[in-house]
Amino acid sequence: MVRWLWQSLKELKPLVHLLFPLCIHWIASEMANPALVDISTRALCYGESSCAQVIYINGIQQTVVGVFKMVAIPLLGQLADEHGRKPLLLLTISTEIVPFTLLAIHSSKGFVYAYYALRTISEIISQGSIFTISVAYVADVVDVSKRAAVFGWMTGLSSASHVVGNLLVRFLPEYYIFKVAVVLLIISPIYMAFFLAETVQPRQTQESSPQSLNKVFKVVQGRYNSMRSAISVVLTSPTLKSITLVLFFYELGMSGISNVLLYYLKAAFGFDKNQFSEILSVVGIGSIISQLVVLPIANPLVGEKVILCTALLGSVAYGFLYGLAWAPWVPYLSASFGVIFVLVKPSTYAIISKASSSNDQGKAQGLIAGVQSISDMLSPLAMSPLTTWFLSSDAPFDCKGFSIICASVCMLIALVCACIIPKEPSSQKVDDDAAENIEAPLLS
């Protein structure tokens, strides 16, 4: 066990300057979630424990983010392949500084509205993109046979960061939460700028015609060709096509639950930031164990597909228990399934990485993440009105978590799709590397 742990840590050595600033960023981002529910409810609901306005504004934000992420994530993934991982990582982890600063200054109604507006823009750029580009960075420096374990360490460190963020929220006075978060958000890109090494040689672009319209046309045409290339990478692989379908339905259900869960718990059981941080910490602590210990041991024994199906089964149980919660202790029981369902992401990263050639890592991860953005766009359109309806006195029957049950059905569909993922031919990756796609530089 000690030897295995030492070998795993050796694999992480080239990633220290990537993972350290990411952990700081994740801690700061997580601090906003439990506190924001109380702040936004107090600013917008005029003394009530919940109201339609706060649920709808959160839903609108997620819908807008989902719409633009469909383009932003694949675009950023392609740019990371062509112009380097480091500049794109610096861009994406810096976007939350301004919106967090607003709530660090004041939490009145006007500042809350301004926060949501600016946070929407920052999440379009950063949500999903940070992990997508980081996964591509890992693929640059880690051997394919060891990526699943490293992805497990990455997501495990992400969970550990979330636990730290939730513990800070649990014990910090509300007045200091966003102030501390802003300091951490500033430290992260500064550290990365000084210490992170680039792994991709930026492509040299030739100067084109000096006419402005011609330059714009060249950029648009190059972007279109590159997007077609990314789509081709996914569509020509049975495994990538199947995992895209799995992640679409999984994200449709899980993002729907995540968007309304804390507001549902506040309205149904009167939870505040302390209970929110406790529940999120339960998920995080279990996630650390499963990703840092269970995944590296189980993956060589059963493979990514079995792990993915087991994790999806756990996500279904997680959703149904929340939706049917009949007492304040049930959400804590449901949160314990985070030990299992958190393995969905590292297992899918490993499957996608194995099914992609070395030069297409950013394209494949980015395009599939873009498809998940469609789910992020669609889920609030159904979840926000459905949750508001069943939390109100006009509900057709007494089931406050009915919307969460509906989202769980989507994850059940993802489980069925995961069970029939075809096995990628062992020669495909070699063939892909031997016959690399030749495409024009995007900005030539």
pLDDT tens profile 197-216:
887 776 655 444 445 456 55
pLDDT tens profile 34-69:
788 888 888 887 767 667 788 888 888 888 887 787
pLDDT for 420 equals 84
| Homologous superfamily of domain range 7-197+227-425 | MFS general substrate transporter like domains (1.20.1250.20)
pLDDT for 438 equals 37
Buried b (16+ CB within 10 A) or exposed e, 343-364: bbbbbbbbbbbbbbbeebbbbb
pLDDT for 224 equals 63
Mean pLDDT of the 259-263 span: 82
Neighbours of 115 (CB within 10 A): 24
pLDDT for 205 equals 52
Please tell me whether the overall predicted TM-score, pTM, comes out greater than 0.95 for this model: no
In the chain, what's the furthest Cα-to-Cα distance?
68
Length of the chain as a residue count: 444
Whether the per-residue pLDDT at 427 is higher than 60: the answer is no
pLDDT for 101 equals 92
First to last CA, the chain: 51
Of the candidates 175, 144, 170, the residue with the CA atom closest to the CA atom of residue 39: 175
Is the distance from CB of 416 to CB of 246 less than 8 angstroms?
no
* CA pair distance 362, 365, nearest whole angstrom: 5
3-state secondary structure of 322: helix
Neighbours of 52 (CB within 10 A): 16
Of the candidates 125, 134, 163, 154, the residue with the CA atom closest to the CA atom of residue 33: 163
3-state secondary structure of 106: coil
Whether the per-residue pLDDT at 179 is higher than 80: the answer is yes
* CA pair distance 343, 103, nearest whole angstrom: 33
> Which range has the worst mean pLDDT, 129-138, 246-255, 410-419?
129-138
Is the distance from CB of 170 to CB of 281 less than 8 angstroms?
yes
Q: Which amino acid belongs to residue 78?
A: Q
Of the candidates 39, 123, 136, 40, the residue with the CA atom closest to the CA atom of residue 85: 136
- Secondary structure of 324-371 in the HEC alphabet? CCCCCCHHHHHHCCHHHHCCHHHHHHHHHHHHCCHHHHHHHHHHHHHH
Mean pLDDT of the 264-277 span: 80
pLDDT tens profile 357-405:
666 666 676 777 777 777 877 888 888 888 888 887 788 888 888 889 9
